[in-house]
Amino acid sequence: MASPTDYPLARPNPDRPPWPGEFHTVAATDVFVRKTPATGPDAEPALYVHGLGGASTNFTDLADLLSPWFAGRSIDLPGFGQSGPPVGADYSLDAHARTVIGYLEQSDRGPVHLVGNSMGGAISIKVASSRPDLVRTLTLISPAVPDLKPRRGADLLMALLLVPGVGVRALRRVDADTPERRARAIVNLCFAHPERVPANRLAQAAEDILSRRELPWAHDALLMSFRGLVRSYLAVGPRSAWQRMTEVTAATLVVWGAQDKLVDVAHAPRIATAIPDATLLVLPDVGHTAQLEDPVSTARAILSLRGRANDGRDTNHVGT
């Protein structure tokens, strides 16, 4: 079986623009999905799921690095990126998971190599545990697992978002700042080394923030998705996230940055133990978004997982 060092990877291209995409109607919602074409003959289908406040552009570099092996798609969850709001303004974690499942069913791309970051990781756990037929492997990058003790640096805003009426006002105050300062604040929170972010990537993030100011559902998407995530933390018994992890049958990789300021890295070994067929990679000098801060190490680990899952299997097919 191949090890991570067996995969020759180029360095990320900081000048690469976001991948193009198209809209799909999923449960009456216009969902935007970016496409990273496969560059290898034996590529397999992959789907990338972003976190709270993120977008499909969070996987530009990772999808590029993996394109010789994966035919990648990156989804904008309802209300985020370029996707429209969900019917009934349902931003619960279950609703987001149903969107991912609906897209996979409609596109007929499953089973896929499913990669989720933060809230996208929590969503991916739900998808993998409830629909194992759609998931070939599962990669969780700092998944937002139950933790009612927010980390330093994010605790004040998160606490305000939970208070009825106050949450919207808090977001409006944040939104009043310049897009450039907001982009820098997000990078400072999510990266262990914000200074490593290329200037053009920071500019792209600021442009995204500016464009979302014009969307009437942008605040609701962030606020209600956050509250839905916290509500999922309170689930017990068979609906709890920890129980769902024990039901995941796909080969799984848990990736975590040791300098994560949003979700405690102490959860990493517990998750890797709860999921029956899981391996763990902790990156020592990385924050909350390893796919952005260290896409090369993340890509190599995912390719090692692919090799483990496909060991002894005929995988001579092209992902679509």
Query: Worst-scoring range by mean pLDDT, 129-133, 198-202, 278-282, 284-288?
Result: 198-202
pLDDT above 60 for 154: no
Fold of 4-310: Rossmann fold (3.40.50)
pLDDT above 70 for 20: yes
Q: Give the mean pLDDT of 74-95.
A: 96
pLDDT above 90 for 105: yes
Q: Give the mean pLDDT of 112-121.
A: 97
Provide the pLDDT for residue 312.
52
pLDDT above 50 for 161: no
* pLDDT tens, residue by residue, 246-286: 999 999 999 999 999 988 999 999 999 999 999 999 999 99
Which pLDDT band holds residue 169 (cuts at 50, 70, 90)?
Answer: low
Provide the pLDDT for residue 59.
97
Provide the pLDDT for residue 316.
38
Domain edges within the chain: 4-310
Q: Which of 161-165, 168-172, 287-291 has the highest mean pLDDT?
A: 287-291
Which pLDDT band holds residue 163 (cuts at 50, 70, 90)?
Answer: very low
Task: For residue 50, give the nearest of 40, 60, 39, 35 by alpha carbon.
Answer: 60
Query: Worst-scoring range by mean pLDDT, 88-92, 97-101, 155-159, 212-216?
Result: 155-159
Provide the pLDDT for residue 4.
47
**Considering Cα of 262, then 158, then 233, then 100, what sign does the dihedral take?**
negative
Provide the pLDDT for residue 175.
66
Provide the pLDDT for residue 90.
96
Backbone angles phi, psi at 214, to 5 degrees: -85, -5
3-state helix, strand, coil in the chain (%, to 5): 45, 15, 40
Task: For residue 48, give the nearest of 40, 107, 57 by alpha carbon.
Answer: 57
Which pLDDT band holds residue 117 (cuts at 50, 70, 90)?
Answer: very high
pTM of the shown model? 0.90
Q: Which amino acid is at 146?
A: P
* pLDDT tens, residue by residue, 28-71: 999 999 999 999 888 999 999 999 989 999 999 999 999 999 99
- Portion of the chain with pLDDT greater than 90, in percent: 65
Q: What ranges in 38-165 are assigned the alpha helix state H?
A: 60-66, 93-107, 119-130, 155-161
Could you tell me the two tokens for 230?
A: 């916290």
Could you tell me the two tokens for 15?
A: 């000048």
- Alpha-carbon span 303 to 249, nearest angstrom: 18
